[in-house]
Chain A
Amino acid sequence: MAEFDAIVIGGGLVGAAIAYGLARAGIAAAIIDEGDIAFRASRGNFGLVWVQSKGLGAPHYQRWTRLSAEEWPALARELGERTGISVGLEQPGGLQLCLSGKELEKRHAMMKQMRREAGNFGFEYRMLDHTELAEILPGLGSSVAGASWTPYDGHANSLNLLHALHKGFIERGGAYLPNRTVTEASAAPHDFRLQLGGEMITAPKVVLAAGLGNAKLAPLFGLSAPVRPQRGQILVTERTHRIWSLPLGSLRQTQEGTIMLGSSEEDVGFDTAQKPEIMRNIARRAVLSFPWIAQLQIVRAWAALRVMPPDGLPIYDQSEEFPGAFTANCHSGVTLAGAHANAFAPMVAAGALDPVMAPFSAKRFDVPAQA
């Protein structure tokens, strides 16, 4: 029976970032992770560190996202120095293209609301029309009506991030236990015993970061994590020379030179099959945005399942019934890596979430929707 100071269930971007933060704080932590074939949202994401559309109607989420974006450079630098892996962070600001006047209007209204809700915290944005955009985006398609821009957005290499977090975790003494699932758990305040098939591990703290697996695990620890899968598909083109210096929301160019095309949302349960019609729609929006993209070959594509809470906002919680149990759930594991490593992990280390996290609790689903 192995004892740890903290057990993190889930080795994806959320679990790895939290575990890294804990290990960095000197806490003897273990990550429990599944095997090679698992849903693993972390292997399928787009790589955006995206701020401008996060938290409409939920200022606490807007602020949490901004905090994460501000923590990101320090995290990236630290990971680079400690592990030698560059996570390729660039935060030049971001543009979200709109392909019709209607889309542009809707986007503008959204930006205005974000600023209103930000209050004194502030929210800087600009709306650009086609002409202004065409000056900075070569070969812009005539269908593009305009775009929203904020200085906060960026992108990174999410696979390198996962690799670096794992490496950093292990190098700080963390124990990585893959190919295991929690078959049984017994919870008591500050005393958690997890059965992993034939072995048992215990700790006074446990963090549920198992993505879609959290839904079933949470009740065992006096928590609730009603997350559901939402499928997204992504296309990747051959490498080209550097064309864009900014991420464009649904399009971005990686440091290797490949161009990633998204985005899509489908409610299809736990199905990671690709659908040519959706791939076609992604390709169409890309071609309408930049006709020259039509010539590029798509060399890779996939479908993955986002971890989606009912209202799209993250669920962060601590168990009242079993103090010491925490959970983190979100669909933006890249964007929120800064917050997870540098803000959430210290809260777990200290034993309790800050009061500022209260709006993220799953208790919000218990009350009837406000009119």
Chain B
Amino acid sequence: MSVDFAIVGAGPAGMAAATLAAELGLDTLLLDEQGGPGGQIYRAIDRTHAEASNPSPLGADYLAGRSLVADFRASGANYRPATTVWHVDPDGALSVVSDGVSETITARRVLLATGAIERPLPLPGWTLPGVMTVGAAQILLKTADIVPDGRTVLAGQGPLLYLAAMQLARAGAPPAALLETTPHENYHAAARRLGSAWAGRRALAKGLGWQLALRRAGIPVRHDVRGLRALGRDRVERVVWDGGEIAVDYLLLHEGVIPNTQISLALQLTHDWDTAQLCWRPVVDEWGRTSLPNIAIAGDGAGIAGADAAILSGRMAALGLAAALGRIGEADRDRRARPIRAALALEQGFRPFLDSLYRPAPSVLAPPEDDTIVCRCEEVTAGQIRRGVRLGAPGPNQLKAFTRCGMGPCQGRVCGPIVSAVIAEARGIPIADVGTYRPRAPYKPVTVGALAGLGAAK
């Protein structure tokens, strides 16, 4: 199969890009491994039955995703759900698998719109059953209308922490407590960015509204929480921190989100270490173009800016490609881009404030205790990584060879950021100089049979 424009990821960036691209006459295909559109933020938006009599606990922002999906469905873009991309060739060929059958799709341009993942929060005991991410709880609410049964505590920081607490409370499962880890130093740093705060005043007001609502609901919030650890034998039973503890059935973690760079790193695109967001991000121009001519990136996968910014950057990518392929003239492209750029500037204007307010403490990036598991898959601890560094392993890839850290099924998705931070701290150099794993295909497992059948006549 051959198309003009193949988009990986049906979240806000991917859907917006596909919609506009199709409207501009590009032969467009949107692929996503989930069975329905929406990415994670609008996950399962199709199944949400919200009426006035039964308002969804997920809130109006979530429901806004419906119009995005409707526009996409009306655009004429092709859509292949439940399809996993397991290899992207630098020249734009995709190897995909769906229901055990693999095929090659060639595209003149590929847009990666794979969004963000939760920043890993490696606290002692984080691998215990019952410890999950805040995002996981939201996904369960969105996809299955289920909530934790028992004492649930949320720990971490960021807007999503408050949003999720509100959603759980409205869904009849109010958390027993919120343990906010925002270091008090962050308030001083954030206070110096009032201009940025002003740019995001609506979002700020919304966040404050959530905090007030939580207080009214009687959900206790502890601030400047340090030294978090999860304790329990076969599952989490207690959460302890400096100066406090609480019995729990579920501990939900969140320290913000970071770009999902699995495919962009596999393609060896140029990445920078973002010192404000403390994450790796691929280098892109305003049209989403990367260091490879046929590969573009839009949305949170290029840097965290939220769903609305993702929609805008998806549209910029579509405009950029339409002009590059001659569907529209450059003047037309620039005319259409002007309002999008302006809106994007507003969205991005809020980031410096958010990024400084919710900057993770150093212990979130590099867990101080040697016993803490870093690689969940292969159960490699921070201490083992530090020992590997002392043995001379200069970076994550050599360390992988020595400790098996990063060789498990998640292919370093979860441990990657932690490993880079631990190595940097152990060697006394900036994370930017340490580098990352080099992920490889298959990006997700594919059977030997599906691979053998690639290109075979049916």
A and B touch in the complex (CB under 8 A): yes
Which residues does A use to contact B, with CB under 8 Å?
33, 35-37, 42-43, 159, 162-163, 166-167, 170, 176, 178-179, 235, 237-238, 261, 273-274, 276-277, 279-280, 283-284, 286-287, 293-303
Name B447's contact: one of A33, A179, A297 (CB within 8 Å): A297
CB <8 Å contact, B397 and A283? no
B281 part of interface (Cβ distance < 8 Å)? no
CB <8 Å contact, B445 and A297? yes
B392 part of interface (Cβ distance < 8 Å)? yes
- In the complex, how many angstroms separate the beta carbon of B206 from the nearest chain A beta carbon? 42
CB <8 Å contact, A301 and B442? yes
Measured CA separation A166–B390 after assembly (Å): 12
CB <8 Å contact, A37 and B438? yes
CB <8 Å contact, A170 and B391? yes
Sample 12 A-B pairs with CB under 8 A, ordered by A number.
Answer: A36-B396, A36-B398, A163-B402, A178-B392, A178-B394, A261-B448, A276-B93, A276-B95, A276-B451, A286-B452, A294-B449, A300-B407
> Within 8 Å CB of B394, what residues of A?
35-36, 178-179
- In the complex, how many angstroms separate the beta carbon of A255 from the nearest chain B beta carbon? 13
Tally of contact residues, B, Cβ under 8 A = 35
CB <8 Å contact, A294 and B447? yes
CB <8 Å contact, B435 and A37? yes
B411 part of interface (Cβ distance < 8 Å)? yes
Most chain A CB within 10 A, of B392, B445, B446, is at: B392
Name B409's contact: one of A37, A287, A299 (CB within 8 Å): A299
Which residues does B use to contact A, with CB under 8 Å?
87, 89-90, 93, 95, 104, 391-398, 401-402, 404, 407, 409, 411, 434-435, 438, 440-442, 445-449, 451-452, 454-455
CB <8 Å contact, B87 and A294? no
CB <8 Å contact, A283 and B451? yes
Residue of B nearest to A42 (CB): B401
- In the complex, how many angstroms separate the beta carbon of B383 from the nearest chain A beta carbon? 16
Known: A36-B397, A170-B392. A284 touches B441 (CB 8 A): no
Name B440's contact: one of A176, A295, A301 (CB within 8 Å): A301
> Within 8 Å CB of B448, what residues of A?
235, 237, 261, 283, 286-287, 293-298
Known: A166-B391, A299-B409. A274 touches B449 (CB 8 A): no
> Within 8 Å CB of A167, what residues of B?
391
Measured CA separation A299–B411 after assembly (Å): 9
Measured CA separation A300–B439 after assembly (Å): 9
CB <8 Å contact, A274 and B452? no
Known: A276-B441, A299-B409, A300-B440. A35 touches B449 (CB 8 A): no
> Within 8 Å CB of A302, what residues of B?
440
> Within 8 Å CB of B398, what residues of A?
36, 43, 178
